[in-house]
């Protein structure tokens, strides 16, 4: 877990274009570690160290997913995960209540995009869990107009507005 903690601490600011790519790598590794620790916790040999480690991984994972879901360009899986965690619901409970498969939620969390037929169910689920009425888009996961994207190069550099850190020395 020390390696993941160091990687999390070294992530760029959420506004940085590289944030999601780097956070996704860390989250993927943490999902694997969480799975291994979950299996170890199910073993017949009691081990308080395993459950303490599992708890720590889950806490850091939840915190990073929350940070990623709040960042510009977040995925629907990140947003759905945070909504269900904040609602204190399991993936299976949310899937059953939304008419989705629990496997789909796992795939969305891992970064896969939903099918067209699942989009409205997912939007309604996020809106219901967060108490929002936004049904047209997934929070921050919207595309900028092409003109805006092409006319402006990277606007933020590690959280600083480019106008503040530009080439003008004075």
Tell me the domain boundaries of the chain: 2-151
The rounded distance, in Å, linking the Cα atoms of 127 and 121 is 10
pLDDT band at 43 (very low <50, low <70, confident <90, very high): confident
pLDDT of residue 124: 92
Instruction: Say if residues 86 and 129 touch (Cβ distance below 8 Å).
Output: yes
* Residue in 143, 144, 142, 138 with CA at minimum distance from that of residue 79: 138
The rounded distance, in Å, linking the Cα atoms of 105 and 114 is 9
pLDDT of residue 157: 44
Token duo for residue 61: 């994972």
Q: Is the pTM of this model over 0.85?
A: no
pLDDT of residue 143: 39
Token duo for residue 25: 């790598």
| H or E segment to which residue 23 belongs | helix 19-41
Distance set, CA 29 to CA 4, 8, 52, 107, 155 (Å): 8, 12, 18, 15, 29
């Amino acid at each position: 877990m020390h390696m993941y903690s160091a990687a999390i601490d070294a992530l760029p600011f959420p506004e940085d274009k590289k944030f999601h790519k780097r956070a996704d790598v860390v989250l993927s590794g943490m999902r694997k570690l969480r799975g291994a620790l979950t299996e170890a916790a199910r073993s017949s040999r009691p081990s308080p160290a395993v459950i303490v480690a599992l708890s720590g991984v889950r806490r850091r994972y939840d915190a990073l997913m929350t940070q990623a879901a709040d960042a510009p360009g977040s995925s629907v899986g990140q947003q759905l995960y945070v909504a269900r965690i904040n609602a204190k619901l399991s993936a299976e409970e949310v899937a059953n209540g939304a008419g989705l498969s629990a496997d789909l939620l796992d795939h969305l969390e891992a970064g896969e995009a939903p099918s067209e037929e699942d989009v409205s169910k997912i939007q309604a689920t996020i809106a219901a869990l967060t108490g929002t009425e936004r049904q047209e888009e997934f929070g921050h996961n919207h595309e900028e107009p092409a003109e805006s994207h092409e006319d402006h190069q990277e606007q933020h550099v590690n959280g600083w507005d480019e106008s503040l850190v530009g080439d003008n020395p004075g």
